[in-house]
Structure 1
């Protein structure tokens, strides 16, 4: 029941914004979603299963945003800057994305966990039960997506430098997630400088920004 599942996840996310996860009740989630409590348990199995599904959904939504940023018709440096901007914005607006990216889990949030062996008849729940990536694993997934996007039309040479540029873009973004910038700071400009100066040369497919790029 995809529609019911999404409604339940929406209801759980809304409930989490109002109270700590420990205070979120399954019966209330089901009532807000307009389905029976039995439907909730059929979809997720337990409250822990609901938490895993919610974390998986928000993580997947973040990764889809990364792919959208990389798909924009821009030069490679701007595309990596767009990934950084998306990462900062997603972490600012979504406490679960911020926690998955940084590994900082407060008492209000559901802790990431993995089912020992998922027996759920729902394919989406079996995937959710596998758990969400660690911050290091998530960073690697973003880096690999960026590398794939930036080399799809170019030469796959100098892979190490390209990987460093892609990872640096995300790490710069994460530094702004942990220590938010002041209004006058432009994270995208810093990303461009970091990439342009990586290893003292340009990675394959990543050209130096123009003299006016920092002001775009």
Structure 2
């Protein structure tokens, strides 16, 4: 048998050093991407914490002295940062007031969602429970009492954001509650899809109105809301 038939052909590979040279560079790039992502996440967490502390300080001052007593300088001193940092994080004083009201509204809306979720398929009980939760919770909420009761200076500025202007609370609340209603009360949403939106707007406006100027006990407002839902659907 010829010797050349037993010869194993040589396979030429590229220089081994080429792959070896690329690996450290690739690993370095992946490491850098991970480090940048980690740093950005950390920075976002720090900013969120700072924002919460600024809003907490603003809420404390509002409850103690009224919104008129809240200044960027006092917030900076209370939190232990510069005024420039306060402005960078929350913007203007008006933006700060809006952020304060929106945060409180979102906390209530989270509770409203839980109350509605406890009564799936039953809009009368679900919406009634949500209204009761909101009214009773507001009665014990120091910030809302400082805004709604009005004796402290500057309360009217935050009251405009809470109960008069469509933004930021009214539309936000209507949108959130309507979304929950359409999810939880699917049968009603399918049959009366066009009717849910005006119903929820009426209930939200009724609740905000009772918060601002209650004409009777909470039980009466809750019963009124339940009757409206029952007759509407």
TM-score interval w.r.t. the shorter chain?
0.5 to 0.7
Decide which structure has the larger Cα Rg and report it: 2
Instruction: Return the TM-score normalized by structure 2.
Output: 0.59
Q: Secondary structure at the match of 2:183?
A: helix
Question: Does residue 1:16 correspond to 2:65, yes or no?
Answer: no
Deviation at 1:47, TM superposition (A): 2.6
Alpha-carbon RMSD: 3.6
Say whether residues 1:108 and 2:155 are aligned partners: yes
CA deviation vs aligned residue, 1:167-191 (integer Å, no higher than 9, x gap): 3433442342243254584432232
Q: Deviations over 1:90-141 (max 9, x none)?
A: 5443438977xxxxxx84354599xxxxxxxxxxxxxxxxx97256524532
Name whichever structure is richer in helix by fraction.
2
Structure 2 regions of 5+ residues with no counterpart?
1-46
Alpha-carbon distance in 2 for matches of 1:175, 1:47: 26
TM-score by length of 1: 0.63
1:78 lines up with 2:118 in the alignment: no
Q: Shift in Å at residue 9 of structure 1?
A: 0.6
- The within-5 A match list for 1:1-216 is 1-74=47-120, 75-92=122-139, 93=141, 94-95=143-144, 107-110=154-157, 133=167, 137-138=171-172, 140-152=174-186, 156-180=190-214, 182-183=216-217, 185-198=219-232, 203=233
Structure 1 equivalent of residue 37 of structure 2:
none
SS class of match (1:180):
coil
After TM superposition, give the deviation of residue 64 of structure 1 in Å: 2.4
Q: CA-to-partner distance for each residue in 1:10-48, whole Å, 9 max, x for gaps?
A: 001111112232332222212222333333222123333
What is the DSSP-based 3-state SS (H/G/I as helix, E as strand, rest coil) of the residue aligned with 2:191? coil
2:116–2:127: 8 Å Cα contact kept in structure 1? yes
